A and B are shown apart, each in its own frame.
Chain A
Amino acid sequence: DQQVKQNSPSLSVQEGRISILNCDYTNSMFDYFLWYKKYPAEGPTFLISISSIKDKNEDGRFTVFLNKSAKHLSLHIVPSQPGDSAVYFCAASAGAQKLVFGQGTRLTINP
């Protein structure tokens, strides 16, 4: 049972444009959501998080939106830069429970 889903395995965006990565979840008990960026052969790097009491959190070029009724969250990166090319994982947890990860989306920023 895949509780956290990233339905797009890959995404290609032109440099300077907006990148939108999507994530859906099924467990209504999830109350904390995170986005991680991962380069090959490296551990994931924390990007941004949001708790279920909010619907938006912004940090520089990164904004995460949470739609609880749709059980959907998205990560917006604007403007996109070549260094943003990586695999992005969304993750969710319920309380202090373990993180559940999506399958990841490979983002490629084209110059």
Chain B
Amino acid sequence: GAVVSQHPSWVICKSGTSVKIECRSLDFQATTMFWYRQFPKQSLMLMATSNEGSKATYEQGVEKDKFLINHASLTLSTLTVTSAHPEDSSFYICSARDPNTIYFGEGSWLTVV
């Protein structure tokens, strides 16, 4: 069964609104979670590293004020896309590390209309 769960799997929002995506580690505690974005037919692009109890570390070119990351507990990280635009439409994936390996969530499709 899934050890990392994302919610929602699909979300459609209006341009200008904000949307939150949750990432939960189900069987382990994760001090670090990662958020990725995938464009069609492209590789996964790391957006940021989410650290429990501290600020996220963003990759170059990723707007931290637009993609808000909160890692409030050892089992939950959230990604909030603020003031969403159609170009933010993408497939967002989180991952979390347990002592042995890194597991990915199921992914969340965001469509901004």
Chain A residues packing against B (C-beta within 8 Å)? 34, 36, 41-46, 49, 89, 91, 93, 96, 98-104
Contacts and interface: CB of A to CB of B under 8 A. Distances in A.
B101 A34 contact: yes
Interface residues of B, number: 21
Given A41-B91, A44-B44, A104-B43, A36 B97 contact: no
B14 to A, nearest CB: 22
Nearest to A6: B43
B contact face: mostly helix, strand, loop, or mixed: strand
Given A34-B102, A99-B34, A103-B43, A43 B93 contact: yes
A43 B46 contact: no
Nearest to A93: B102
B101 A46 contact: yes
- In order of increasing CB-CB distance, the 3 nearest A-B pairs are A43-B107, A43-B104, A44-B104
Contacts, number: 45
Contacts of A98: 34, 46, 49
A46 B49 contact: no
Interface string B29-60: 00010100000001110100100000000000
22 contacts: A34-B101, A41-B107, A42-B106, A42-B107, A43-B6, A43-B93, A43-B104, A44-B93, A46-B101, A46-B104, A89-B44, A93-B102, A96-B32, A96-B97, A98-B34, A98-B46, A99-B102, A100-B46, A101-B43, A102-B43, A103-B43, A104-B43
A64 to B, nearest CB: 13
Given A44-B93, A99-B34, A49 B43 contact: no
